[in-house]
């Protein structure tokens, strides 16, 4: 099963511990996480179900290619890392 982890910043606001998830795509894996924590969806996805501009997701150290449909394939042993980009000055 793929493993998903979230930055400490997200975990500070929502219960989203790292763990194993099912699903053959990023969308399926995130949907499983959202089922356990529905509030997390609003932090990561916009009203159209796409990744928000300030959210970055990496699979095995590479940025996801499909930020709209989240159709990137996942395989057992893949590492998914989700974080919010911070900006300011």
Mean pLDDT taken over the chain = 92
Cα angle: 51, vertex 56, 59; to 5 degrees: 105
54: left (phi over 0), alpha (psi -120 to 50) or beta: alpha
Q: What is the pLDDT of residue 67?
A: 96
Residue 89 lies in a domain: no
Write down the pLDDT at residue 13. 83
Residue at 34 is within a domain: yes
Domain-located, residue 45: yes
* CA 65 vs CA 10, 55, 61: distances in Å: 22, 13, 12
Whether the per-residue pLDDT at 12 is higher than 90: the answer is no
* Mean pLDDT value of segment 22-35: 95
pLDDT at residue 87 in the model:
65
**Total structural domains in the chain?**
1
CATH classification at residue 15: 3.10.20.30
Domain that holds residue 67: 3-84
pLDDT digits over 41-52, tens only? Answer: 999 999 999 999
Q: Report the pLDDT value the prediction gives residue 25, as an integer from 0 to 100.
A: 97
Residue 25 lies in a domain: yes
Which residues, 6+ apart, have CB-to-CB distance to 51 below 8 Å? 44, 45, 57, 64, 67, 68, 70
Q: Is 13 inside any structural domain? A: yes
Task: Establish if 53 belongs to a structural domain.
Answer: yes
Is a pLDDT exceeding 90 seen at residue 24? yes
Give 79: exposed, middle or buried? Use CB within 10 Å, 0-12, 13-18, 19+.
middle
- The whole-number average pLDDT for the span 8-16 is 85
């Amino acid at each position: 099963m793929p493993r998903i982890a979230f930055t400490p910043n997200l975990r500070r606001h929502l219960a989203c511990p790292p763990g194993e998830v099912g699903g053959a795509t990023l969308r399926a894996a995130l949907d499983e996480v959202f089922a356990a924590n529905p509030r997390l969806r609003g932090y990561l996805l916009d009203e159209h179900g796409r990744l928000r501009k300030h959210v970055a997701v990496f699979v095995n150290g590479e940025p996801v290619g499909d930020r709209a449909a989240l159709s990137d394939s996942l395989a057992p042993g893949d590492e998914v890392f989700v974080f919010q980009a911070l900006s300011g000055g």
